[in-house]
Chains A and B, each alone.
Chain A
C-alpha cells in the first residue's frame, strides 16, 4: 500500500516534469482556477464589504483585513512554493520546476507589495502610523527585497540555463526569511497581533469575519495558481518557439527569426 502510493507519487512527479504533459495539465486546470478565483472573489468581496459586521474596536477599518491578510499569506506561500520548486530543480534538475519558480516570483512580489501597502492603509487608523519598524513589517519588507533580488538574478543573464542555476541557490537561501516572518510576532515585542487563525485552541476570530477571510484566501490562491500556470505555459511556448527558430534554415526569409533566436541564446 505504502509502496504503491509512493510509486504513484513518483510517477506523477516524473510525468509532469515532462513539459508537454505539464502543459496539457496546465491547460486543463487553469480555466478552473480562474473560475474559482472569479466566484470566490465575488462572494468574498461582497461578504467582506457589505455582509460582515464592523469590528467593535476598529469599525469599518477592519474591512482592510480581507484584502491585507490573504495578500500577506500569499506572499509567504508564494515564496514557499518558489523555494520548493527551486529545491526540486536543484536536486533533480527539472526545467519545468525552474520555470514554475520563476513564474511565482512576480505574483509573490506583488502580493508582498500589496500586503505592505494595505498594511499601511490599515495601520494609519488603527495604530496611528503608516509604517513602524516592527519585526513583522520589517521582515516582510525584507521578503520584498528577496523577491526583487531573485528576479534580478534571472534578468542579469541571457543564458537561461545558467541563470537558473544561480536563481535556485538564491531562492533556497532566501527561504531563511520565511520562518523569521512567521515567528517574528512571537520573538519580538510587536505591534502586530500574534497568530489568531492557525493556533492551538482554534481561531480567535469570530465566524462572521472568518468566513469572508477564508473565501478571500481561496480566491487569492486560485488567482495565484492561475497566474503561475499561465506563466509556465507562456514560458514553455516561448522556449518551443525559440527551439523551432533555431532549427529553421538560415535563408534570407528567416533572418528576423534567426536574429531573435541568436539574441536569446
Chain B
C-alpha cells in the first residue's frame, strides 16, 4: 500500500504534537465536560429534569466539541506549507486524510466517548450510561467526517472558521436528531438497536463514504 508511508508518519507526528504542545487532545474533552457542566447549571439540579436532558446534552456537547477541536486542523497544514509538500509528493491526498481522521478519532473523539458514561451517570441516566456512550461512539465517526469537511472549507476560506462551521452545522442536524432519539429510546427501554440507532449507523456509513471525497476536493481547492 502506497499510503502506509505518509499515513503512519503523519499520524505519529500529529499524536506527538498533540501530546507535547500543551495537550491538544485534552481541549475537546475539557470543552465537553464544561458544556455538560454548564448545561447542568442551566437546567438546575433536579435529577429528573437532568436525566431527561442527558441525551440532548451529550450529543450537543460532543458535536460542538468535535467541530471546534477539528476546525483548524487543515488550516495549520496549509499555512505552514506542509500540505503543499504532501500534495507534491503524493498522487492522492487520501493517505493524509486517513491519517488526520484516525488522529481525530483516537485523540479527540475517543476521550469524549470514554468520558460519556461519567457525564451521563452525573445526569442521573442510571444503567444506560455505558450503552449511551456506545451509542455516541456509533454516531461520532459521522460527526468527525463532517468536522473534517468543515476544517477543509475553513482552510480555504479567508473568512475563517466561524463561517465554515455555520456552513456545515446544518448537516449535523440529521446525526443529532437520530442520535438523541436513539439514546432516549435506549434509556427508556434498554433496547440498543432501535430503528433510530440503525439509521444513525447508516448516517455514519453514508458520511464516511461521501465526505472524504468532498473534503479532499476542498483541500485541493484550498491549495490551488
Interface of A with B (CB < 8 Å)?
Answer: 90, 135, 138-139, 142-143, 145-146, 149-150, 152-153, 156-157, 162, 165-166, 169-170, 172-174, 176-177, 180, 187
23 sampled A-B residue pairs with Cβ under 8 A = A138-B173, A138-B177, A142-B170, A142-B173, A143-B170, A145-B170, A149-B163, A150-B167, A153-B153, A153-B157, A157-B157, A162-B224, A166-B157, A166-B218, A169-B153, A169-B214, A169-B218, A170-B153, A173-B168, A173-B171, A173-B210, A173-B211, A187-B199
Residues of B within 8 Å of A165, CB to CB, are 156, 221, 224
Tell me which of B169, B177, B224 contacts A145 (CB under 8 A): B169
Q: Is the CB of A174 within 8 A of B157?
A: no
CA distance A166 to B149 in the complex (A): 11
Give chain B's interface residue range (CB within 8 Å of chain A): 20 to 34
Question: Which residues between 140 and 173 of chain B lie within 8 Å of chain A, taking CB atoms?
Answer: 149, 153, 156-159, 163, 166-171, 173
Question: Which residues between 161 and 219 of chain B lie within 8 Å of chain A, taking CB atoms?
Answer: 163, 166-171, 173-174, 177, 199, 206, 210-211, 214, 217-218
Knowing A152-B166, A166-B218, A172-B214 are in contact, say whether A139-B173 is a contact too (CB < 8 A).
Answer: yes
Interface of B with A (CB < 8 Å)?
Answer: 149, 153, 156-159, 163, 166-171, 173-174, 177, 199, 206, 210-211, 214, 217-218, 221, 224
Q: Is the CB of B171 within 8 A of A174?
A: yes
Main secondary structure of the interface of B (DSSP, over half): helix
Determine how close the nearest CB of chain B comes to the CB of A131; give it in whole angstroms. 16
Determine how close the nearest CB of chain B comes to the CB of A219; give it in whole angstroms. 29
Chain A residue nearest to B181 in the complex (CB): A188
CA distance A150 to B171 in the complex (A): 13
Residues of A within 8 Å of B217, CB to CB, are 90, 169
Determine how close the nearest CB of chain B comes to the CB of A264; give it in whole angstroms. 16
Determine how close the nearest CB of chain A comes to the CB of B180; give it in whole angstroms. 12
Determine how close the nearest CB of chain B comes to the CB of A254; give it in whole angstroms. 29
Residues of B within 8 Å of A138, CB to CB, are 173, 177
Residues of B within 8 Å of A173, CB to CB, are 149, 168, 171, 210-211, 214
Tell me which of B156, B174, B210 contacts A166 (CB under 8 A): B156
Residues of A within 8 Å of B158, CB to CB, are 156-157
Give the most central of B167, B174, B217: most A CB within 10 Å: B167
Residues of B within 8 Å of A142, CB to CB, are 170, 173
Knowing A169-B214, A169-B218 are in contact, say whether A152-B170 is a contact too (CB < 8 A).
Answer: no
CA distance A149 to B154 in the complex (A): 13
CA distance A157 to B153 in the complex (A): 13
Determine how close the nearest CB of chain A comes to the CB of B161; give it in whole angstroms. 12
Chain A residue nearest to B152 in the complex (CB): A169
Residues of A within 8 Å of B149, CB to CB, are 173
CA distance A37 to B210 in the complex (A): 38
Q: Is the CB of B221 within 8 A of A169?
A: yes
Determine how close the nearest CB of chain B comes to the CB of A4; give it in whole angstroms. 34
CA distance A168 to B221 in the complex (A): 10
Residues of B within 8 Å of A170, CB to CB, are 153, 167
Residues of A within 8 Å of B167, CB to CB, are 146, 149-150, 152-153, 170
Chain A residue nearest to B167 in the complex (CB): A149
Q: Is the CB of A152 within 8 A of B218?
A: no
Q: Is the CB of A180 within 8 A of B174?
A: yes
CA distance A110 to B82 in the complex (A): 42
Knowing A156-B157, A157-B158, A166-B156 are in contact, say whether A176-B171 is a contact too (CB < 8 A).
Answer: yes
Q: Is the CB of B153 within 8 A of A166?
A: yes
